[in-house]
Structure 1
Amino acid sequence: MVIEDTAPCAIAMRDVRFDWPGGQFGLDVPAFDVKQNETVLLLGQSGSGKSTLLSLICGILAPSQGVIQVSGTDIGTLGRAKRDRFRADHIGIIFQMFNLLPYASALDNILVPLRFSKARRARVQSPRQEALALTRALGLPDALVARAQASTLSVGQQQRVAVARAMIGRPNVVIADEPTSALDSGAQEEFLELVFGQVRDAGAALLMVSHDERLASRFDRVIRLDQIARQRRAAAS
């Protein structure tokens, strides 16, 4: 099945259904799109299915039925190993808790995606210079990036390293999972400016998931999870 649209979609979902083993929880997504070069904020409360939806888009989970296209590829038809490879090649992820390697340098953390993806590595002429160019744009000094262990960085510095790691090798799609949840409003504003700048430079699509409605005005489009997805829970016996 090919999902047709007048504008290219970075993410397109049609008639997607997912069932957790045991049948106690499921998620239905009739239709959901994110255009290339678009920034989308997906709002949803804790327990609303946000993590399940992101895992489906990233290929960590496979749908029970339906079509999930990312950059034109129906990832639901791929086996687990090919989904892992596709994710490494095409999707940059900014995790809520950053997930940095604590005893590795900031630079080594940023270069990790290139070790797992030949496609992203091929888009970079000089990995070290690309990483330093990203971190300079994000306001981090070269000496700190090259030598400081991730565990010694401030929260703000770790966030910047996480952004650079997601963006290196110019992925088509960037997924951000609650990356501003621990920040005050001023720090949120600064962080979003940095992320938006990097996404624009790469020509990527950004899907950010949050429960914070204060972020809404900064995005091209805001969608509530309950508008596009329906949870299913098994009735108690």
Structure 2
Amino acid sequence: MTEHGGTSQRRRVIDGLVHRISTGELRPGARLPGENRLAEEFSVSRGTVRKALAELQRQRRIETRTGVGSFVTFDGADLDFSMSWTAALTQAGVDTETEVVLLERRDDPGFAREHGLGTAAFVAVDRVRRITGGPAVSLERSLVPATPDLADLPETGLAGGSLGTELERAGLIPHHGESWAGARPLSPGDAELLGRPPGTVFLHTVRLSFAADGAFVEHVTSLLDPDRFRLHHTFGAAR
């Protein structure tokens, strides 16, 4: 390929992405498609895509974050680890069905002491998530504070089946926190809920989130089907 041809192809990728940004197809904060997908869409090499992205970064149209750490993907689509899996999967265009399998008030002084919380009263919410018309792909166990707006959830249920909606209504918006990921075999009880053989290894994630003022929002542990979810780690700056 001649240098002129390479420059022309790079310009085509740049112009195409600039158009998506300017028309709002790619909104501020949105994650760009991966290099492989862009290379396929524009029928160019990954090297050409990298050079186009570097130019867009130089123009400050996009931002490449150094050391952004780990996040989870679903069937190759990036999921925002900071939000609930419902919201993340919906954002990725995945249709899911959610079954609430436990919704109860719970006192847990040990958890409160461990995380320096001012209350030991919580609401526990366990949910099994399925691909619409398909198998179960996750089991999520959340612990949220039993504030006046949330304490009655065991009687009233979740609005639209969404814990995120209830947290937002209570003014508990995740702002910062921590997350961990590993793997573990399914216990007999978890395996029954997910329709898998006991001992099947699932991806295991934990997310602890707080509001901007430091108020505790949610502690959620998730078991994710490793055939559909992957842990993705990034480091360094794109060249």
Q: TM > 0.5 between the two?
A: no
Answer with 1 or 2: which has the greater Rg: 2
- TM-score, normalised with respect to structure 1: 0.27
Larger fraction in strand: 2
Structure number with the bigger relative contact order (C-alpha 8 A, sep ≥ 6) is 1
TM-score by length of 2: 0.27
Compare the two structures and name the one with the higher helix fraction.
1
